Structure formats: C-alpha cells, structure tokens
Amino acid sequence: MHIHKPKPLHTIREFLSEISVIVVGVLIALALEQGVEYLDWSHKVAQAEVRLSADLKENSSYASQYAALKPCADSYLDRMQSDLIKHDAVDLTKLYHFGPPFVSYPWKIVSWESAVASQIGDHMGNDRFHDYAEAFRGAALLRDFQLRYRDDYAVAMTGRFALPPDTKATDDQLAAVDRLREYIVIGRNIAANDLVKVAARLGIAQDPATVGDIRQVAAQCMDLLGASPKR
C-alpha cells in the first residue's frame, strides 16, 4: 500500500492559498447551515401565524359582542337594579329566563402560549409579534372577566326568589349589579382597543356567522326590554 504524503508547502503564497480554500469551505458550510435554519424557522413562523390568525379571528368575533350588546347590557342592568330595589321577583325571573346581557365564549389563547414557548417571537417582525401579544393579552383578560360576569350575575339573580325582603341580601345583590356594570365597561375598552382594533390592523376579519349570532341576541334582548315590566 502506498501512502501519499502531503506535498510540502514551499511558499507563503501556497500556504495562504490552502488557508483560503479552508476558510471559503467553512464559510460556505456556515452559510448553508444558516440558510437551512432560516427556512426551518420561516416554516415554523408561517405555521404559527396560521394558528394565531385563526384563534384571533374567533376572539375578535367574540369581542364584537361588547359593541353589539351595549344598549342591551346597559338597559338590562338598569332594569335588574330597579327590580331588586322594588323586590320585583316576577320581572327578575323574566330577565333570568332570557339569559344574561353577555355571551360566554371559549376564548382562545393556547396558540399564543405555544408560540411564546417555541420562541416564535425571535423570528417574527417585532411590530407584528407585539400586535399578537396585545390581542391575546386582551383575550386572556376577557376570559377572566367572563368568570366574574357569571359570578356577579348569579348573585344578583338570587333576588328573583320570592322571599321576604332582606336588606343585607338586597345590598349584596345591588353591589353585584354595580360590579357587573363596571366589569362590562372595562371589557368594552379591552375588546375595542386590544382585540377588534388590533385584529383589523393585522388584516384579520371577524367571522360573519358569529357576529350575526351576537346581533341576533342583541335584537332579541332589546325586544324583551322594550316591553313594560309586569307589575
């Protein structure tokens, strides 16, 4: 077996030539590696955006209830407050059977949590990532407020039971209505500024079917409140 010994370098030029070949080879390898990594992250970001956009579309559609149901919610809470003060269990029961002046939805935030955990933000434009962050933070807040709505609505609606008037119970029920009113006002600001507006800025439209269902509830609510309470 013949072993070919490396040819000795006789000049600085030959040495530099060999070094340049090695350097160029390393640079090409690094460039290819970075190119593959870039394509890989581009694919991951694209997939994440599909999920983020889908969830934000639903959240923005859910958030449309705050504008659509505003006249309903304001009148409904005024009516509820008046019924509690007058101990009108009949009209409170009527409101209860219609349902609350808000619609409960399964707010979507899992795609955002997944995007953050997978460091998608490091490979997405800063402005776009910030918009998604703002929108999903708003969705998380509205999800939390939704639980508060349910709790305070349940407390206030205990007034529909035909019991002898109880000052302490009535005070608790009226306080629940006041909290519910306050939380809904805060929810309107979050929905308008952190969800609907941001989704529109990202080019994400609301779902017409969901918005249509909400508007139908709003119309039914106003029909109910347009009738005079039974006395």
Q: What are phi and psi of 146, to 5 degrees?
A: -60, -40
DSSP string for 98-112: H--SS-------HHH
CA distance linking residue 211 with residue 230, whole number of Å: 32
Taking the complete model, does pTM exceed 0.85, yes or no?
A: no
H helix intervals, 157-190: 167-190
The pLDDT profile of the chain, 231 residues, written as one tens digit per residue, is 555 555 555 577 666 666 776 766 666 766 666 665 665 667 888 898 999 999 999 999 999 999 999 999 999 999 999 999 999 999 999 999 999 999 999 999 999 999 999 888 888 889 999 999 999 999 999 999 999 999 999 999 999 997 777 889 999 999 999 999 999 999 999 999 999 999 999 999 999 999 999 999 999 999 999 854 443
CA dist., res. 122 & res. 66, Å (int): 34
124 to 25, 35, 39, 110, 194: CA distances (angstroms): 30, 16, 13, 18, 20
**CB contact at 8 A, 198 and 131:** yes
Residues 6+ apart with CB under 8 A from 118: 44, 48
**Which tokens hold the place of 48?**
């994440």
At residue 122, the pLDDT reads: 84
